[in-house]
Structure 1
Amino acid sequence: MQAIPRELTQNNWITMLFLIGFILLFFMKLYKPSRFLGYSISFFTRGFIEKRAEEKPAIFSTFHVLIYSFCVLTLSLFIHTLIPETQTQNNLISYIYLISFTFIYMIIRSLLDYSFSKLLNLSDYIRYFIFTKVGYLYTLSIWLFPILIIYNYGYKNNNFLWGSFLILLGIRFGLVFYNNKKLIIKHLFYFILYLCALEIAPLFIILKILK
C-alpha cells in the first residue's frame, strides 16, 4: 500500500489567530459576562452602549484592553483575507505589518477624535459620540469574527464576505447616526469632513490595495 503524502498548508498561522480570538472572547466572557453579552447584542437591543457612554468607563480597564485587542485582530484579519496571495510573498509577515498598521491607525484616529473635540470645544458632547462609535465597532468585530471563520473554512466567497461586512457597517453607521442625530445635524459640515477623512478614506485605501 502506497503512502499518501500529507500536504501541510501554509496558513496554519491563521488558525492560531482564530484560536487567539477565541481566547480573548473567553476571557471577556469570564471577566465581565454581562458586559460581553451587552456588546454582542447591542445591534439588536437599545440602551447598552448609551448607558456605557454615560458611565464614562475607564479606557485602560482590563475588559477594554481585551475587546480592543480582539477588534484590532479581527479587522486586520478581515483586510488580510481580502488581499490576493499573489500580492504577498510571506502571508505571516504581511499580516504582522497589517495588524501593526491597524493598531497604529486606530490609536491615531482616537487621538484625532479627542483633538477635534478639544478644538471645537465639544468635549462633553463629542465624548458620547466617540464612545457610541467605538462601542458599535466592537460589536461589528464580534459579529465579523464568525463570518471570517465561515469564509476561511467553509464558504469561501468574496461577495459573501464583503456583503456581510457592509451590512454590519451599515447597521453600525445607522445606530451611531440615530444616537447622535442632534449633534451630527448641528455640526453637519464637520461630521462630513470627519466621515470622509477617517471612515470612508480608509475603505478606499483598502480597495486600492486589493486592485
Structure 2
Amino acid sequence: MEFILREITSTNWLTIIITVCLMLLATAKRVNMLRFTDFMMLFSNSKYIISYQKLNKLSSLFNAILLLFQVVSVSLFLYLCFGVFEWKVTPNQITLYFKIAIIYTVIVICKLLVEKIVATIFSIDSIIDEYLFYKVSYRNFMGVILLPVNIVFIYALQPSKIAFIILLILLIILNTIMLVSFYKKNENIILNHLFYFILYLCALEIAPYFILYKLIS
C-alpha cells in the first residue's frame, strides 16, 4: 500500500475563524429563533422570503449578523481556493484571509449602496429593496452551505482542484437559479427597461467579482 503524505499546517487561526462563524449563527438564532428557523429552510421553501421580504429591512440586526457571517464564511472558502489553485498572491495565510475579507466586505457594501442610490434616482425603491433582500438572503444561506465544506477541507480531506471546480460550478448554478427566479417574477419590468437591466448585470453582478480577484492578487 502506498501512503500519500499530507502537509500539515497550523490551523489555530482557522479554528478561530470557524468558531466566529458558529458564534454568529448562534447569535442570529438568539436574536430571532423563529426567523432563524425559517431562514435555515430557505432552499426547501419560500416561507422566509414571503414572510420577511416586505416587513424587514436589510439594516435589521438579524440581517446584519447574517451578512457578517456571509463575509467570514465566504472569505474562508475563497482563501482555500487560492491555496488549492496555487494562485500567486502575497502575503500568505492569515494576512491573505483578512485581505480577502476586507476587499469582499468593501465590494458587498459598495454594491448595496450603489443599488440603493440607483433605486432612489429611478424611483424604484420598493422593487430594489425586495431584490436586495432576496439576493442577500440567498447569499447568506450560501455562506451556511460553505461552512461545513470549509470545515471538511480544513480538518478532514485534502482539498483538490477537481472538488473545488465542482463546488464553484454548483455555487454559480445556485446563484444563477436564484437570480433568474427573481428576474422571471419581475419579467415585465425588466423587458420594459432591458438596456438598463443588461447594463446593471455587467456593472454590478459580474464586474465586482473580477475586481475582487484582481485586488487580492
TM-score if structure 1 supplies the norm length?
Answer: 0.83
CA deviation digits over 1:110-160, x for unaligned, max 9? Answer: 101101112222112222112111111111111111112122222312332
Which whole-Å CA distance do the structure 2 matches of 1:102 and 1:93 have between them? 14
Partner residue, 1:105: 107
Distance in 1 (CA, whole Å) between partners of 2:205 and 2:213 is 13
Alignment partner, residue 170 of structure 1: 173
- Which residue of 2 is the match for residue 134 of structure 1? 136
Tell me, in whole angstroms, the C-alpha distance in 2 between the residues paired with 1:162 and 1:8: 23
Q: 1:210 to 1:60 in 2, by over 3 A?
A: closer
Q: Number of residues paired by the alignment?
A: 204
For the pair 1:159 / 2:162, whether they are aligned, the reply is yes
**Compared CA separation, residues 79 and 48, structure 1 to 2 (3 A):** same
User: Which residue is 1:36 aligned to?
Assistant: 36
**Offset of residue 109 of structure 1:** 0.6
Q: Does 1:80 align with 2:79?
A: yes
Post-superposition CA distance 1:69-113 (Å, at most 9, x none): 101101211211111366334411222222111111111011011
Gaps of 5+ in 2: 1-6
State the shift of 1:17 in Å: 0.3
Q: Is the 8 A contact 1:50 1:132 kept in 2?
A: no
Look up the match of 2:70.
71
- CA contact under 8 A between 2:103 and 2:215: conserved in structure 1? no
What corresponds to 2:98 in structure 1?
96
Distance 2:214 2:103 in 1: 16
Letter in 1 for 2:173: G
Structure 1 gaps of 5+ residues are 1-6
Asked if structure 2 preserves the Cα contact closer than 8 Å seen for 1:144 and 1:165, the reply is: no
Partner Cα separation in structure 2 for residue 194 and residue 145 of structure 1: 30
Is the 2:107–2:212 Cα contact (8 Å) retained in structure 1?
no
